[in-house]
Structure 1
């Protein structure tokens, strides 16, 4: 079964979807991504001695700010009155690196998947920027949607 792309009109031209007839419902999305780095870079990050400052706090703030600006970055996204954005950055010594998780919530007519994914992406980019002087070989990997709830299309949970 092929899903119909809602952002294209009958002529195949890009358009913003009209959500005015949709019911306002509670919607939530969770996304994650990883920044893989050298063990020494992770140690530097965890020590709080990165030359640009607190990597964790800066990445969290950047991710929250990015979620709020998603409609300015992604051309066909609706501006949303977000009720919550939470960004968590946690060490993953087995990578080695950091896991970034973002949760976005809204009471509205359209979902918040793009806001959660944008928050994760920008938080990961911020981590790279703050640590690049120590490790230019870092990689941003596996930015993905983990969970989506609410709306007509129902819930989605990524299988692990």
Structure 2
């Protein structure tokens, strides 16, 4: 098992020194979902909620959040992001909205937290925009889907069991 890097020798929280690491291209993709009533999803789809265009506002909120991750997560490094995207899939079978975010940078550290923060804030924004008609919404299944770059290379969720992050081949 990998050692926790955000702890010093005495077990105190610390920011990891990445100064000696090489600058490489890094990318991360995260996803989550907002489950809601079918009628609420219909209003999102038809853009008929009184607060305005739910998905446009949530997209901007997610991008803005990714850019400010270091202000929200105490031990994250400030990163000059090259790109952030936030996309939505309206799914009647949930019913709800699947949120996917991608972040990329050329840096000494990864962008997993930026992608996860983008999804989280986009999902929270969807909740905020729709709560007047559906307070029972559930934000769920927030996870890293893929990360690329750095010393550990590529990690892809499709190679793992969603619940445990254990190799799918280890399942019985």
Q: TM-score range by the shorter chain?
A: over 0.9
For residues 72 and 40 of structure 2, the distance between their equivalents in structure 1, rounded to whole angstroms, comes to 30
1:118 aligns with 2:120: no
Partner in structure 1 of residue 126 of structure 2? 127
1:110 and 1:151 in contact (8 A); partners too: yes
Partner in structure 1 of residue 74 of structure 2? 75
- Post-superposition, which runs of at least 4 consecutive aligned residues in structure 1 deviate over 4 A? none
For residues 7 and 94 of structure 1, the distance between their equivalents in structure 2, rounded to whole angstroms, comes to 40
For residues 82 and 158 of structure 1, the distance between their equivalents in structure 2, rounded to whole angstroms, comes to 23
Partner in structure 2 of residue 153 of structure 1? 152
1:93, CA displacement in angstroms?
1.0
Partner in structure 2 of residue 136 of structure 1? 135
1:59 and 1:89 in contact (8 A); partners too: no
Partner in structure 2 of residue 84 of structure 1? 83
Q: Report the secondary structure of 2:71's partner residue.
A: helix
1:3, CA displacement in angstroms?
1.4
Partner in structure 2 of residue 39 of structure 1? 38
Q: Report the secondary structure of 2:122's partner residue.
A: helix
1:68 and 1:82 in contact (8 A); partners too: yes
Q: Which runs of 5+ in 1 are unaligned?
A: none
Partner in structure 2 of residue 49 of structure 1? 48
Partner in structure 1 of residue 65 of structure 2? 66
Partner in structure 1 of residue 168 of structure 2? none
For residues 48 and 84 of structure 2, the distance between their equivalents in structure 1, rounded to whole angstroms, comes to 27
Q: Which runs of 5+ in 2 are unaligned?
A: 163-172
User: Looking at both structures, which has the greater relative contact order when contacts are Cα pairs under 8 Å and sequence separation is at least 6?
Assistant: 1
1:154, CA displacement in angstroms?
1.5
1:90, CA displacement in angstroms?
1.7
RMSD: 0.7
Q: Report the secondary structure of 1:107's partner residue.
A: strand
1:128, CA displacement in angstroms?
0.2
Q: Report the secondary structure of 2:82's partner residue.
A: strand
How many residue pairs get aligned? The number is 159
1:8 and 1:15 in contact (8 A); partners too: yes
